[in-house]
Chain A
Amino acid sequence: MFFSGKIIEVTKLSSDYYKTDIKLFEKISQSPKPFQFVMLWIPRKDLMPMSVADYHDDILTIIFKVRGEGTKTLAQNPGFVGVNGFYGKGIKDLYERKILFVAGGSGVAPLPYLTRYFRDKISIDVIWGFRYHHQYFDLSNIISSRSVGEIFYVAEDCVDKRFYCGKATDLYQKIIKRERDKWDLVIASGPKEMLAKICEINRELDVYVNLENHVKCGLGFCGSCVLKPTSKLLCVDGPLFSCDEVAEYLSQN
């Protein structure tokens, strides 16, 4: 469904990352599930798939990185916008799960809503990797829930001693070897290569990946998000899949 909305504020989180709160003009009958996404419309400029980063009281939060024309305009607060959604299946219900959330870049966006939605039904530790140290921001500032335990930051440029040096997958590999029994569910969110790697590293754990792909319609008719060679549609069946479901897709470059 299409909803009109208005940007309440845009906050700069770090060198490249922004957060925006959008007030929807209509009550939405059903709240989204974590990992569902919207198609955010910047009038006559762009339409972009965006994870639901947070949602409460008809206010939708988006976390984004400035990339193209659309996100640039969004960072400058275009005022009125459109929100199409909520798309995808999102995550199924979780009870008493100990989660390790591994994020790369803007893949971290679904985290605040994941923690809000399940509250004390889950406990969650986080690995967040980014390329440059100046992209860092403190994740605890955007998370409202107490379900988050440890947060590990990983920077590829290795200049800031506060961050683990390397890639999110490096740290993941290391700690999953050492403390495997600490978690019973791994959710990874980020670029395809990273997700392929995560799926390879440990095949015994329950691992889910939050995919990105070309989304044009969001409704399941245009076929642009089909995860070839499988016949799964990201916009309808995903964007969260078990490693098994998308193994063939992830093995292709």
Chain B
Amino acid sequence: MNLSLKTSITNVKLDHPLMNSSGILGSEPETIDILIRYNVSAVVSKTITYEPRKGYDPPIVVELRNGGLINAVGLANPGRDIIPKLIERARRYNRPIIISVGGSSVKEFVEVASTADLYKADAVELNLSCPHTKGYGIEIGSDPENVSEIVEAVSGSIKIPVIAKLGLSDRILRSAEKALEKGAKALTLINTIKALVIDVYSMKPILTNIFGGLSGPPIHPIAVRIVYEIYRELKPEIIGVGGVSDWRDVAEFILAGAKAVQIGTALIKKPDIIPEILKDLQNWMIEINIKDINEVVGAALKS
């Protein structure tokens, strides 16, 4: 039987629905090679800012007993000059590349996105949702007016598609609505969720930044809920992300309305997870009797 896992996001053709999520390698050309070995259908870069950022001092991450991860990297990245090198590296492999863009002002978002546009990335993903970097993230993304302003400015200045990455907040529906209205062609949902971990003997927070972003299995049902609600209300193209650790989690995202899925934490813990999930998804497709994965996008909403 001919089973198709092919899909697309903002007209970028993908051999299958699984890519890495931003922040898993992808800030240096050498680490793009690694992502290619992991079998991603598109490379997503680390969030790139206008100027280089050193990020926080370690500890920048803690592995939790519940399978989750809390990180506060602080958007460490080499700055916008790295963008052409990242794109060139992905091109060697003929793999689509999405540049994740960060900024602390509208102007910075526009500048970085314009660099990605100039060197012909396949799309930009605006990181409007980092929960632990002051002035760069969720403060922006949880205010629909900010989202509106940034997406409008970026969409108006570049030709390649704009994807808006939003995080958990009370007004995420409104932010999503604004982003789409102002020109975003797709949404990535969700980012990590602001969290805290304390060492009970020294009685101190472990991360240097104190607060971090929670990722991994503990956030998966929340992410599925967000994808479902946004899909129900707005029917946009969605990349689901949050807590995927096996094919079932991917299937859930797709049924909730996602056309593609990103994997972060699980890719760290198990670098060969993508081929495994693809195989399992095909078995699932046989079981539910579909030939094309796109047939079941949003199927959980149909009554």
Binding site for B on A (CB under 8 A): 1-2, 4, 6, 25, 39, 41, 43-44, 47, 79-82, 84, 216-224, 226, 228-231, 233, 236
Contact = CB atoms under 8 A, between A and B. Distances in A.
Interface string B25-51: 111101101100100000000100000
A2 B61 CA distance: 10
B60 A216 contact: yes
B59 to A, nearest CB: 5
A131 to B, nearest CB: 28
Given A39-B58, A231-B30, A6 B25 contact: no
B119 to A, nearest CB: 20
B76 A222 contact: yes
Contact of A6 (B34, B63, B201, B206): B201
Contacts of B26: 223
Given A4-B200, A4-B201, A82-B206, A223 B28 contact: yes
B33 to A, nearest CB: 4
Interface of B: 23-28, 30-31, 33-34, 37, 46, 55, 57-65, 71, 73, 76, 197, 199-202, 204-206, 208, 268, 271
A97 to B, nearest CB: 29
B59 A39 contact: yes
Contacts of A1: 63, 65
Contacts, number: 88
9 residue pairs, one from A and one from B, having the closest CB atoms: A231-B33, A47-B58, A43-B202, A80-B202, A80-B201, A223-B31, A4-B201, A231-B30, A43-B204
A241 B200 CA distance: 37
Contact of A47 (B24, B59, B73): B59
Contacts of A4: 199-202
B63 A219 contact: yes
Contact of A221 (B37, B205, B208, B268): B268
Nearest to A218: B61
Nearest to B89: A231
What secondary structure prevails in chain A residues at the interface with B?
A: loop
Given A1-B63, A82-B206, A220-B268, A226 B201 contact: no
Given A82-B206, A221-B23, A229 B30 contact: yes
24 contacts: A1-B65, A41-B199, A41-B206, A43-B202, A44-B205, A47-B59, A80-B201, A80-B202, A82-B199, A216-B76, A217-B58, A219-B61, A219-B63, A220-B271, A222-B60, A223-B25, A223-B31, A226-B28, A228-B28, A229-B30, A230-B30, A231-B33, A233-B34, A236-B271
Contacts of A224: 76
Contact of A223 (B27, B60, B199, B205): B27
Most chain B CB within a 10 A radius of its CB, from A80, A217, A223: A223
Contacts of B33: 231
B268 A219 contact: yes
A80 to B, nearest CB: 4
A44 B204 contact: yes
Nearest to A233: B34
Contacts of A6: 201
A39 to B, nearest CB: 7
A38 to B, nearest CB: 12
B81 to A, nearest CB: 16
A222 B59 CA distance: 12
Contacts of A217: 58, 60-61, 71, 73
Contacts of A25: 201
Contact of A226 (B30, B64, B71, B202): B30
Contacts of B60: 216-217, 222
B290 to A, nearest CB: 34
B117 to A, nearest CB: 24
A81 B27 CA distance: 31
A2 B34 contact: no
A230 B30 CA distance: 7
A72 B26 CA distance: 35
Nearest to B46: A223
A36 to B, nearest CB: 15
B59 A41 contact: yes
